[in-house]
Chain A
């Protein structure tokens, strides 16, 4: 029951720290002329941290994640990724920042006309990696996610679970500094879900910052990491307290 409360402002003051991977200060997002879907978000994600991102459907989880993977710009406020203020980054700079981010999308976003191999190879190829090295890395990773037999199958022919694993392999192939996953275990059985979560934990131990958007209470219970909870357009941060299985707002 010992949770330390800390204001969002204190967190936001640290957005320029060297160890800060993602920093947001008074950030708001609106689509077109509509009302803000997220307001006054203050957030600091430090290198090597692991967070769940929770909230009801429509709370803005995907919007917040898309801002983190640089698909969405903030309508107001300051967003810094790897210390760069995104508002002043040009297109080439954004591309270079995205190479340091791994993303698992809820709808997978695979290229259906390409094979599992080519989909996983994508982040390496856009970086200009040598094809021999690409083959080595992709083959190993597809073996690890138990898709060796599907390596030359088109993405459109894979099952939901297989697509999920291809999407995860693609997200981690480039050894990203931060991994953002939107419901990564939503389409796989509990065994594979556990295995994937263990992969994320392993990556986190190697220094990768991880943010996982999920609805799964089981995941949150089984893996006691801090939780970013979206509610009423704002963000609350909860730290788990393992002793009695409850958690407290940070």
Chain B
């Protein structure tokens, strides 16, 4: 007979029969999908901002403005002379790791999108460019550098990229803030859905719960049954959501990489970012469990 009795212990509150279980899984699936895609967006924006910041901090560009006069060879020679002086000065400047003038080939490549192939830069009044790499942690006073450089090479001017990048960073920051608000809303809406599903279920199973109370069960006993069940539903819903997230990220990422100009070339997610996205089912499970647990504790106060 004992053999017959050894059956798996069932939960007293028959939550597996609830219709709301299916709704809850769908709800969590959608929420995790929205959360995951938005989170991937936030993480990409973070990566992009970091890359931009690093590029700002790590380099600057010096322009040697062209001289427009009839004697082109003399003007060209003067520009190249000033370029050499500027490079020499910059390579000796404290905090500068390396200063290197761009070759004609590199300049051609830069203006190619505007002027097309086969253009001889030497024939055009195009500024010469010097790419300057700055040492890590070097604190350079750009105003002072610009003044000293102007003394050595009057045609030189500094572009530290800050102006246009600042605008771009501000825009990216706004996007990130918006995404964070969306993430917060998804969490609030999902918690609300779990709250009302749990309350409905408590109403459906009131009879069973009152019997449990009469047998001496504490509210915690009932709350734990709800927490276990809802954690499971949250996890399964989260897995479904994750299954939808992964292809979506790949598609969006592929589309972003098609944008020319390199602005969004740094948007790929790191291993840590993927780790965070893959942990979403655990997060949804935990959130569902905590919400259900406290909803039950809160609601049972009105019971017997």
- Taking a contact as CB atoms under 8 Å apart, the answer to whether A131 and B2 are in contact is no
Residue B12 at the A interface, CB < 8 A? yes
Interface residues of A in 97-122 (CB under 8 A from B): 98-99, 103, 109, 111, 113-115, 117-118, 122
- Taking a contact as CB atoms under 8 Å apart, the answer to whether A135 and B6 are in contact is yes
A122-161 CB contact bits vs B (8 Å, 1 = yes)? 1101110001000100110001000010011000000000
Select one of A111, A115, A117, A125 contacting B208, CB under 8 A.
A111
- Taking a contact as CB atoms under 8 Å apart, the answer to whether B301 and A91 are in contact is yes
- Taking a contact as CB atoms under 8 Å apart, the answer to whether A151 and B1 are in contact is yes
- Beyond A126-B212, A126-B217, whether A114 also contacts B1 by CB under 8 A is no
Q: In angstroms, how far is the closest chain B Cβ from the Cβ of A182?
A: 12
Select one of B17, B208, B215, B219 contacting A123, CB under 8 A.
B215
Select one of B6, B212, B300, B304 contacting A122, CB under 8 A.
B212
Q: In angstroms, how far is the closest chain A Cβ from the Cβ of B207?
A: 8
- Taking a contact as CB atoms under 8 Å apart, the answer to whether A113 and B14 are in contact is yes
- Taking a contact as CB atoms under 8 Å apart, the answer to whether B304 and A71 are in contact is yes
Select one of A117, A127, A131 contacting B216, CB under 8 A.
A127
- Beyond A114-B10, A139-B5, whether A92 also contacts B214 by CB under 8 A is no
Select one of B17, B216, B304 contacting A126, CB under 8 A.
B216
- Taking a contact as CB atoms under 8 Å apart, the answer to whether A91 and B219 are in contact is yes
A138 vs B219: C-alpha distance when bound (angstroms): 24
Q: Using Cβ atoms and an 8 Å threshold, which residues of chain A touch B221?
A: 126
Q: In angstroms, how far is the closest chain A Cβ from the Cβ of B14?
A: 5
- Taking a contact as CB atoms under 8 Å apart, the answer to whether B218 and A114 are in contact is no
> Across the A-B interface, how many residue pairs have beta carbons closer than 8 Å?
72
Q: In angstroms, how far is the closest chain B Cβ from the Cβ of A117?
A: 6
Q: Using Cβ atoms and an 8 Å threshold, which residues of chain B touch A151?
A: 1, 4-5
- Taking a contact as CB atoms under 8 Å apart, the answer to whether B5 and A98 are in contact is no
- Taking a contact as CB atoms under 8 Å apart, the answer to whether B12 and A111 are in contact is yes
Residue B211 at the A interface, CB < 8 A? yes
- Taking a contact as CB atoms under 8 Å apart, the answer to whether B214 and A69 are in contact is yes
Residue B258 at the A interface, CB < 8 A? no
Residue A243 at the B interface, CB < 8 A? no
Q: Using Cβ atoms and an 8 Å threshold, which residues of chain B touch A122?
A: 12, 211-212, 215
Q: Using Cβ atoms and an 8 Å threshold, which residues of chain A touch B167?
A: none
- Beyond A114-B12, A151-B1, whether A98 also contacts B7 by CB under 8 A is no
Interface residues of B in 177-226 (CB under 8 A from A): 208, 210-219, 221
B247-273 CB contact bits vs A (8 Å, 1 = yes)? 000000000000000000000000000
A95 vs B212: C-alpha distance when bound (angstroms): 10
Select one of B9, B210, B301 contacting A131, CB under 8 A.
B9
A126 vs B17: C-alpha distance when bound (angstroms): 22
A122 vs B221: C-alpha distance when bound (angstroms): 12
Q: Using Cβ atoms and an 8 Å threshold, which residues of chain A touch B212?
A: 122, 126
A111 vs B217: C-alpha distance when bound (angstroms): 15
Residue A18 at the B interface, CB < 8 A? no
In the complex formed, the residue of A with least CB distance to B16 is A113
Residue A96 at the B interface, CB < 8 A? yes
- Taking a contact as CB atoms under 8 Å apart, the answer to whether A71 and B12 are in contact is no
Interface residues of A in 73-107 (CB under 8 A from B): 91-92, 95-96, 98-99, 103
Select one of B9, B14, B216, B219 contacting A99, CB under 8 A.
B216
- Beyond A91-B219, A135-B2, A135-B6, whether A103 also contacts B14 by CB under 8 A is no
A77 vs B4: C-alpha distance when bound (angstroms): 50
Closest A-B pairs by Cβ, 8 of them = A99-B216, A126-B217, A98-B216, A95-B218, A123-B215, A122-B215, A113-B14, A126-B215
**A98-B216, A126-B217 given; 7 more Cβ-contact pairs under 8 Å:** A91-B300, A91-B301, A95-B219, A109-B214, A114-B12, A126-B221, A152-B7
13 contacts between A and B (CB under 8 A): A91-B219, A92-B219, A95-B217, A96-B216, A98-B213, A98-B214, A111-B208, A114-B10, A117-B5, A117-B7, A122-B215, A151-B5, A170-B215
The interface of chain B, by Cβ under 8 A from chain A, is 1-2, 4-7, 9-10, 12, 14, 17, 208, 210-219, 221, 300-301, 304
